C-alpha cells in the first residue's frame, strides 16, 4: 500500500483513547495500534527478569537486547501486537504490578527511542489508528490526522473507578507532561475533543467525521 494513512489519537489517562481508537479502527477497517500495550509489555518483561523498573540504565539495556517482533492479529478488528520471543503476554500486562511499573519504564529516553522506531514499523500493516501519549508529536508528527482527547478530571477519575482501578490521575498527568523524553502535549494541528459526558459512540463519530473532512480537504 502506498502512503498508508495514520490516525493519531493522543490524550490524557482515562480520556477514552483505547475505546475510541478501537471503534474508529473497526468502523474504517484500519489496523489498531495500542502503544501503551507495548510499554506494558516491556514493563512486564523487566519484572519477569527481575530488572528494577526504576533503574533507567538497566531498563534501557533490556530494551536493547530483548527479542521482539510485530504481528498483525485478526479478530473483531485487526490490531498490532508486540511479541516477545514469539509470545504476546495479553493477560500478564494488565496486572497492577505492571501498571505501577509502566510510568517509570516509559520515562526512559532510550526506551522511547526504541519504541518510536518499532511503532513506526507498524506502517507495514497498512492504514493505522494509533493511540498513545506522543503519537502526533513524536511517533508520526507528519500525519494530517491528529486528535487529542481529554475530559474533566472528575469524569476521568470516575471512569477509572468504574474499571476497578485506583489511580491518582492528576499526578499521572503531571508526570507524563513533565518527563524529558516525548512529554504528553497537544500535537500541532490536532483536533481537540473534550468528551466529558459523551458515550464512546458519540466521540468516535466525531473523530471519524473530522477525519473524513480532513481527508477530503487533502485531495
For position 171, what pLDDT does the model report? Answer: 73
Are 12 and 149 in contact by the 8 Å Cβ rule? The answer is yes
Is-above-0.95 flag for pTM?
no
Instruction: Please report the pLDDT score of residue 179 as a whole number.
Output: 67
Question: How far, in Å, CA of 124 to CA of 172, rounded?
Answer: 32
CATH number of 1-30+126-219: 3.40.50.300
Judge if 1-30+126-219 and 36-122 fold alike in CATH terms: yes
Instruction: Map out the domains of the chain as residue ranges.
Output: 1-30+126-219, 36-122
Instruction: Give pLDDT tens digits along the chain (219 positions).
Output: 578 999 999 998 888 899 999 999 999 999 999 999 999 999 999 999 999 999 999 999 999 999 999 999 998 889 999 999 999 999 999 998 998 899 899 999 999 999 999 999 999 999 999 999 999 999 999 999 999 999 888 888 888 777 776 777 767 767 777 766 767 788 999 999 999 989 999 999 999 999 999 999 987
31-34/68-73 β-pairing: unpaired
Helices 35-48, 96-106: inter-axial angle, 10-degree rounding: 110
What pLDDT, on a 0 to 100 scale, did the predictor assign at position 194?
Answer: 92
pLDDT at position 193, please?
A: 94
- Is the sign of the CA dihedral 174, 175, 176, 178 positive or negative? positive
- Quote the CA–CA distance of 191 and 159 in Å, as a whole number: 22
Residue 80: Cβ-neighbour burial (10 angstroms; 0-12, 13-18, 19+): buried
Task: Report the C-alpha gap between 135 and 114 in whole angstroms.
Answer: 14
Residue 201 is predicted with a pLDDT of 95
- Quick one: pLDDT at residue 1? 53
pLDDT for the residue 170? 67
What nine digits make up the cell of 143?
500525519
d(CA 31, CA 2): 15
Domain 36-122: which topology? Answer: Rossmann fold (3.40.50)
Amino acid at each position: 500500500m502506498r502512503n498508508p494513512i495514520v490516525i493519531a489519537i493522543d490524550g490524557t489517562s482515562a480520556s477514552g483513547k483505547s475505546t475510541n481508537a478501537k471503534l474508529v479502527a473497526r468502523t474504517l477497517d484500519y489496523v489498531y495500534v495500542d502503544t501503551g500495550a507495548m510499554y506494558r509489555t516491556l514493563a512486564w518483561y523487566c519484572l519477569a527478569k527481575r530488572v528494577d523498573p526504576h533503574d533507567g540504565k538497566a531498563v534501557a539495556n533490556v530494551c536493547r537486547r530483548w527479542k521482539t517482533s510485530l504481528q498483525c492479529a485478526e479478530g473483531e478488528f485487526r490490531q498490532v501486537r508486540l511479541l516477545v520471543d514469539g509470545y504476546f503476554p495479553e493477560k500478564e500486562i494488565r496486572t497492577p504490578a505492571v501498571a505501577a511499573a509502566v510510568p517509570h519504564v516509559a520515562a526512559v529516553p532510550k526506551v522511547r527511542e526504541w519504541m518510536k522506531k518499532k511503532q513506526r514499523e507498524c506502517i507495514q500493516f497498512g492504514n493505522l489508528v494509533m493511540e498513545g501519549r506522543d503519537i502526533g508529536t513524536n511517533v508520526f508528527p507528519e500525519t494530517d490526522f491528529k486528535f487529542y482527547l481529554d475530559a474533566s478530571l472528575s469524569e476521568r477519575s470516575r471512569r477509572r473507578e468504574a474499571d476497578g482501578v485506583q489511580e491518582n490521575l492528576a499526578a499521572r498527568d503531571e508526570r507524563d507532561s513533565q518527563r524529558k523524553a516525548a512529554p504528553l502535549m497537544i500535537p500541532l494541528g490536532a483536533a481537540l475533543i473534550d468528551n466529558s459526558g459523551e458515550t464512546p459512540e458519540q466521540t468516535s463519530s466525531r473523530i471519524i467525521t473530522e477525519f473524513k473532512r480532513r481527508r477530503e480537504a487533502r485531495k
